[in-house]
Chain A
Amino acid sequence: ETGVTQTPRHLVMGMTNKKSLKCEQHLGHNAMYWYKQSAKKPLELMFVYSLEERVENNSVPSRFSPECPNSSHLFLHLHTLQPEDSALYLCASSRDRGSYNEQFFGPGTRLTVL
């Protein structure tokens, strides 16, 4: 596996379910990101981790809970979601948080909340 991988690629869940999205990067990067991509809206930054510490939480509802156990893995734990949370969730990584660094994106998890 190379680059940034995400599992599952597709997820359908009910509003009372608990699920987790997984992201793994094989690039030796120190910073990882979660973005939300909704139809007809710009990508929205959700969380940033640098060296396994969360450095930003963009006022994301508490029903989204990130976890970064090491610099290669990033999780997004989901519980009691709403239908408006249906979107493509993208994970990205970069060498560090330096502003000019390219962010490498995963393929995304397409989430549908019923």
Chain B
Amino acid sequence: AQTVTQSQPEMSVQEAETVTLSCTYDTSESDYYLFWYKQPPSRQMILVIRQEAYKQQNATENRFSVNFQKAAKSFSLKISDSQLGDAAMYFCAYRSPLVLSGGGADGLTFGKGTHLIIQP
């Protein structure tokens, strides 16, 4: 079974600065998918960014980018120019390859999350 570890229960950053959230995972699969989800206080969880393991290029979405190190099984999230609206719980998640053929595990495997605080 896959596991996802987020070693930072809480992180704090000054507004406009850059912060990196760490995530490591354990898997024996060679192809898989990785995600970062954001859960603001009392609001719905939304997708921040995703990465396909077979793609070497790191995914970017505006101020959000990842550092994907497949050999190290590491998938960190970098937030540049932090804004107050970035304050939230951030969850790293893993998903096994396509399951339409009936094999593999379904759904997402999540880490415990990192609580990101933005200091004004």
Contact = CB atoms under 8 A, between A and B. Distances in A.
The reply to whether chain A is a binding partner of chain B is yes
Interface of A: 3-4, 33, 35, 40-43, 45, 48, 55-56, 58, 90, 96-100, 102-103, 105-108
Given A41-B112, A42-B110, A106-B44, 8 more contacts: A3-B44, A40-B112, A43-B110, A45-B107, A45-B109, A55-B106, A100-B95, A108-B44
Question: Which interface class (under 10, 10 to 19, 20 to 34, 35 or more) fits B?
Answer: 20 to 34
Contacts of A105: 37, 44-46
Interface of B: 4, 32-33, 37, 42-47, 50, 52, 91, 95-100, 105-113
A40 to B, nearest CB: 7
Contacts of B33: 99-100
B93 to A, nearest CB: 8
Contacts, number: 59
Contacts of B37: 105
Contacts of A35: 107
25 contacts: A4-B44, A33-B107, A42-B91, A42-B109, A42-B110, A42-B111, A43-B91, A43-B108, A45-B109, A48-B107, A55-B99, A56-B106, A56-B107, A58-B107, A90-B45, A99-B33, A99-B95, A99-B99, A100-B50, A100-B95, A102-B50, A105-B44, A106-B44, A107-B42, A108-B44
